[in-house]
Structure 1
Amino acid sequence: MHAYIGLGSNLENPLAQLDRAIETLKKHDDLKNLRVSSIYGSKPVGPQDQPDYINAVASFDTDLSPLALLDLLQSIEQSQRRVRERHWGPRTLDLDLLLYGQERIQLPRLNVPHPFMLERGFVIKPFSDLAPDMLLENGKTVTEQLHQLDTSDLVFIKEE
């Protein structure tokens, strides 16, 4: 199955946090053909009393089930000392499963496609680095969706 994940961080050297997570993903035997977007900076969603975020999107092929993949992503977060103090609060690492093939998943622990991805420039912009012509669930391509969003707060950080 081809999957897309969002990566984000705004604590404890965020760029190093993303680099470490990407290296961990590269070394994992169940993830093949890993590709990573450029990295972008953005203002936080939710509480503004926290540092700006950096974000990227990665894609890969996997035979892991959606929940096994979620468990893997959460174990990587935990290895980088992710603490869930408040909703949309600061974090060392956030790994969100955005898409898992064309599957629609509604479980207590997992909703795919990610319920907010179409609204977030910090997801769609890096997504467009990897799959600009992919058709999204709303019938628009990633590029078309990007043009519908305010991305004025996005700052290019680095190319992966």
Structure 2
Amino acid sequence: MKVVLALGSNLGRRFDTLQGAVDTLFDAPGLQFVGASPVYETDPVGGPAGQKPYLNAVVVAETKLQPRMLLDRAQSVENAFGRVREERWGARTLDVDLLVVGDVVSDDPELTLPHPRAHERAFVLVPWSQVDPDGEIPGRGRVADLLAGLDRAGVWLRDDLKLQGPA
């Protein structure tokens, strides 16, 4: 089934962290890389004032892994890159969010699928629309249609940065 992951970083060597996350996510069996979006620089949304801009990208993969296993892998990758969870929506070295896992819908507080705010975030939908133009969020609709209703201010293409698939 298709899995869509959002990557974000606003601390440290942001691009190196995103590329390292891609490499690490696909280093173990169970995920097959399909594609990565362009990288976007984005204004912080929510959280404390004074945060630095983020680099954001979306990665699409195929998997047979269960959502809980994917969450465990995503959190392990975050931890490997120094993620500290002190403040909701605070600055971070790396954020790896599961946006959709196939057509799974779950209200589990530890793993809500699809991601509960993906449909309202331009910093997610803009890159997602680039790597997966026909993407859909179960229960919400097509990514392109959702994006059409959002303000894209604060989301800038970084055409000087390009994520590579796993080696």
Q: TM-score, normalised by structure 1?
A: 0.94
SS where residue 27 of structure 1 aligns? coil
**What CA distance in whole angstroms lies between the structure 2 residues aligned with 1:74 and 1:63?**
18
**What CA distance in whole angstroms lies between the structure 2 residues aligned with 1:141 and 1:79?**
33
**What CA distance in whole angstroms lies between the structure 2 residues aligned with 1:132 and 1:77?**
27
Task: Look up the equivalent residue of 2:43 and give its one-letter code.
Answer: K
The Cα shift of 1:35 comes to 1.2
Q: Any unmatched runs of 5+ in structure 2?
A: none
SS where residue 59 of structure 2 aligns? strand
The Cα shift of 1:139 comes to 5.3
Q: Are the counterparts in 1 of residues 51 and 91 from structure 2 also a CA contact under 8 Å?
A: yes
**What CA distance in whole angstroms lies between the structure 2 residues aligned with 1:119 and 1:61?**
24
Q: Are the counterparts in 2 of residues 26 and 34 from structure 1 also a CA contact under 8 Å?
A: no
Match of 1:60 in 2: 61
SS where residue 137 of structure 2 aligns? coil
Deviates more, 1:109-118 or 1:125-134: 125-134
**What CA distance in whole angstroms lies between the structure 1 residues aligned with 2:139 and 2:153?**
23
Match of 1:122 in 2: 123
Match of 1:100 in 2: 101
Are 1:31 and 2:31 an aligned pair?
yes
Q: Are the counterparts in 1 of residues 105 and 138 from structure 2 also a CA contact under 8 Å?
A: no
Percent of counterpart pairs with the same letter?
39
Alpha carbons of structure 1 residues 53 and 106: separation in structure 2 relative to 1, 3 Å: same
Q: Over the residues paired in the alignment, what is the CA RMSD in angstroms? A: 1.4
Q: Any unmatched runs of 5+ in structure 1?
A: none
SS where residue 88 of structure 2 aligns? coil
Match of 1:159 in 2: 162
Alpha carbons of structure 1 residues 7 and 131: separation in structure 2 relative to 1, 3 Å: same
Q: TM-score, normalised by structure 2?
A: 0.90
Are 1:76 and 2:73 an aligned pair?
no
Q: Are the counterparts in 1 of residues 128 and 135 from structure 2 also a CA contact under 8 Å?
A: no
User: How many matched pairs?
Assistant: 160
The Cα shift of 1:137 comes to 3.5
Superposed CA offset, 1:65-124 (max 9, x none): 101110000000000010011000000000000000011011121000000001100000
Match of 1:6 in 2: 6
